[in-house]
């Protein structure tokens, strides 16, 4: 299905790996002008080169910036004053015991996972409204609705993403601008691979069985009983950002493999 994204200008934050990279790749596949973002210039240029080689009809560029830092955001805004589509994907996560989480850690997660994306929305949303087209997509998590208890500092910020997106959607009423949140379930990213390595480093579970064991014992409510592939999320986000998705805004869109129970 052609999604009508050709030549749309797209910024995907935190797109040098994992879900962000997969999202950027799907926009590139659709012929959009994609801006790759990450903190490392080397990582950004590596992904730009990789996607340019794969999607020759897409306009792919890179801007290295730590968007949690105001100075870096200001530099980004000067280089990229307008976008048609903003995907707030950049985040940090780490399993932690509640009583080990300091105030500094709470503040760091709030700053990176919430305030950085909020700053981008505050800058780009007025232009979208003026041009009467735009898409803002927050990448949250099933942890926003059903915290596992394994990383409360992360879960809190994902719930905040839902609330912020809903509030911003109220500003777009009657326009062709939408603001939505996509909530993936547990996804096979580099970060999750590292998390599993740490979780099972003293375990007798064979490496080949760790993903299955994790889903069975840590995500037992999942209906698909496997980790979601990043490209599955990428394709869905591309549709949510497309002109065909105007029928929903302010929505919390679940892509969790049936992990979060639904009450009918």
Alpha-carbon distance of 179 to 183, in angstroms, equals: 14
Alpha-carbon distance of 101 to 52, in angstroms, equals: 41
Paired sense of beta strands 33-38 and 252-255, if any: unpaired
Q: How many residues are recorded in the chain? A: 264
| Model confidence pTM above 0.85 | yes
Alpha-carbon distance of 89 to 176, in angstroms, equals: 22
Alpha-carbon distance of 80 to 65, in angstroms, equals: 12
pLDDT of 77-127, one tens digit each? Answer: 999 999 999 999 999 988 899 999 999 999 999 999 999 999 999 999 999
Please give the DSSP secondary-structure letter assigned to residue 175.
S
The answer to whether residue 9 scores a pLDDT higher than 80 is yes
Instruction: Report residue 263's pLDDT band, with 50, 70 and 90 as the boundaries.
Output: low
Active site residues: 154
pLDDT of 182-222, one tens digit each? Answer: 999 888 888 888 888 888 988 888 888 888 888 888 888 88
pLDDT of 17-51, one tens digit each? Answer: 999 999 999 999 999 999 999 999 999 999 999 99
Token duo for residue 81:
């004053």
Alpha-carbon distance of 190 to 107, in angstroms, equals: 25
pLDDT > 90 in the chain, percent: 72
Alpha-carbon distance of 212 to 209, in angstroms, equals: 5
Lowest mean pLDDT among 67-76, 129-138, 170-179, 204-213: 204-213
């Amino acid at each position: 299905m052609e999604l009508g994204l050709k030549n749309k200008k797209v910024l995907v934050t935190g797109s040098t790996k994992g879900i962000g990279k997969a999202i950027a790749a799907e926009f590139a596949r659709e012929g959009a002008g994609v801006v790759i973002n990450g903190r490392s210039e080397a990582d950004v240029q590596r992904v730009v080169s990789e996607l340019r080689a794969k999607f020759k009809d897409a306009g792919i560029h890179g801007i290295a910036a730590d968007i949690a830092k105001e100075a870096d955001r200001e530099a980004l805004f000067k280089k990229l004053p307008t976008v048609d589509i903003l995907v707030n994907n950049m985040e940090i996560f780490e399993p932690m015991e509640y009583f080990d989480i300091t105030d500094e850690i709470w503040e760091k997660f709030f700053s990176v996972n919430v305030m950085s994306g909020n700053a981008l929305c505050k800058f780009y949303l007025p232009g979208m409204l003026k041009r009467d087209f735009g898409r803002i997509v927050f990448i949250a998590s099933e942890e926003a609705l059903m915290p596992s208890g394994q990383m409360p500092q992360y879960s809190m910020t994902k719930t905040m993403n839902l609330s912020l997106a809903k509030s911003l959607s109220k500003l777009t009423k009657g326009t062709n601008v939408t603001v939505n949140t996509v909530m993936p379930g547990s996804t096979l990213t580099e970060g999750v691979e590292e998390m599993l390595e740490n979780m099972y480093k003293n375990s007798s579970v064979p490496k080949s069985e760790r993903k299955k064991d994790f889903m069975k014992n840590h995500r037992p409510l999942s209906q698909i009983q496997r980790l979601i592939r990043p490209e599955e999320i990428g394709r869905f986000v591309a549709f949510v950002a497309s002109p065909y998705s105007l029928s929903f805004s302010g929505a919390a869109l679940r892509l969790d493999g049936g992990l979060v129970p639904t009450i009918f």
